[in-house]
């Protein structure tokens, strides 16, 4: 459960998580796990999930929520087309948007920087690597039509580079250069850690990125390649244990509810 949970909002407020999903219905694992963890905190009257490509849709999920206030948290990495075009359209299909508070994609939150750093540091420590001789590559979706993903991925890479901890920090993508399969053009470091900037999982995390990396005979578990280079693919951002707490804090703040600490300092 998220630690130091905010005070209960009461039964009149619900939380709706929105993820990309997959057309075969298998892309809900991360969203379902986050929802279960947040639900267990007992802060919201209901916690539900919804998706762009699989059931339940936002309209269907909202139809099952009687609460007068619903906070919608997009489990998305950037303000790309899904966040700016698809989600508003799907929410409008509910015919009941007045009670909704829609937050920015959680992948753009300032705390994602610390989560990405922790993921990279854990991978480096577990593999027994020297940080200053290790390259960290942030893997984003990318797009040849819009630059939102490139901006967000590049910004996260820049934030990691600013720590001065790693030998090299760069960005690779699924759908724009430099492609993940061309990671060698981004760094010449012997040891490379790839951190996926994916929030709700699905095929991008489970198959698209690993397959792109393996396209040029690249193991993703640190197995040495013929030239001695090694690469580790970490879990996606959305799988980090701090994500549920982050989502909960942002959702509660959106409703204007003070935390336990704030109430202690200022009184009721």
CB distance 247 to 106 below 8 Å:
yes
Please, which residues have CB within 8 angstroms of residue 63's CB and are 6 or more apart in sequence? Answer: 94
Q: Is the pTM for the entire model greater than 0.85?
A: yes
Q: Give the whole-number percent of the chain exceeding pLDDT 70.
A: 92
3-state secondary structure of 201: coil
What is the per-residue pLDDT for 9?
62
| Res. 231 pLDDT band, cuts 50 70 90 | very high
Q: Give the whole-number percent of the chain exceeding pLDDT 90.
A: 85
Nearest CA to 96 out of 68, 124, 116 is that of: 68
Can you tell me the distance from the alpha carbon of 149 to that of 108, in angstroms, rounded to the nearest whole number? 10
| Res. 254 pLDDT band, cuts 50 70 90 | very high
Average of per-residue pLDDT values in the chain: 93
Where would I find the H helices in the chain? Answer: 29-40, 58-63, 81, 87-92, 112-126, 148-161, 203, 209-214, 243-254, 260-266
Q: Which tops the pLDDT comparison, 218 or 16?
A: 16
Domain 10-108+242-266 grouped into CATH 3.40.1390.10:
no
Nearest CA to 30 out of 252, 196, 222 is that of: 196
What is the per-residue pLDDT for 262?
42
Nearest CA to 141 out of 151, 130, 149, 152 is that of: 149
pLDDT digits (tens, 9 = 90+) for 238-250: 999 999 999 999 9
CATH number of 112-239: 3.40.50.1400
Indicate whether 266 pLDDT > 80.
no
How many CB atoms sit inside 10 A of residue 39's CB? 16
pLDDT digits (tens, 9 = 90+) for 87-138: 999 999 999 999 999 999 999 999 999 999 999 999 999 999 999 999 999 9
Q: Do domains 10-108+242-266 and 112-239 have the same CATH topology?
A: yes
Where in the chain are the domains? 10-108+242-266, 112-239
Q: Return the minimum-mean-pLDDT range out of 3-7, 98-102, 171-175, 205-209.
A: 3-7
Can you tell me the distance from the alpha carbon of 64 to that of 8, in angstroms, rounded to the nearest whole number? 21
How many CB atoms sit inside 10 A of residue 118's CB? 14
Can you tell me the distance from the alpha carbon of 161 to that of 238, in angstroms, rounded to the nearest whole number? 21
What is the per-residue pLDDT for 202?
80
């Amino acid at each position: 459960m998220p630690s130091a949970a905010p005070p209960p909002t009461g039964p009149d407020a619900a939380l709706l998580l929105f993820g990309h999903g997959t057309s075969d219905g298998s892309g809900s694992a991360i969203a379902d796990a986050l929802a279960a963890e947040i639900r267990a905190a007992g802060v919201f009257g209901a916690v539900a999930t919804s998706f762009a490509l699989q059931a339940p849709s936002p309209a269907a999920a909202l139809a099952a929520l009687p609460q007068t206030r619903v906070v919608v948290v997009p489990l998305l990495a950037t303000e790309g087309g899904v966040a700016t075009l698809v989600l508003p359209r799907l929410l409008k299909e509910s015919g009941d948007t007045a009670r909704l508070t829609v937050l920015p994609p959680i992948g753009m939150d300032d705390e994602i920087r610390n989560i990405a750093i922790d993921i990279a540091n854990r991978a480096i420590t577990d593999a027994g690597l020297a940080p200053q001789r290790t390259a960290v590559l942030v893997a984003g979706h990318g797009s040849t039509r819009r630059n939102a993903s490139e901006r967000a991925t590049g910004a996260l890479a820049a934030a990691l580079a600013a720590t001065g901890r790693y030998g090299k920090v760069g960005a690779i993508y699924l759908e724009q250069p430099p492609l993940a399969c061309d990671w060698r053009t981004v760094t010449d470091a012997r040891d490379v850690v790839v951190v996926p900037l994916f929030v709700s999982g699905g095929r991008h995390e489970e198959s698209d990125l690993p397959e792109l990396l393996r396209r040029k005979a690249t193991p993703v578990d640190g197995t040495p390649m013929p030239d001695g280079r090694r690469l580790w693919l970490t879990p996606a951002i959305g799988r980090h244990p701090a994500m549920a707490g982050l989502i909960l804090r942002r959702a509660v703040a959106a409703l204007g509810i003070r935390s336990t600490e704030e109430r202690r300092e200022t009184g009721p």
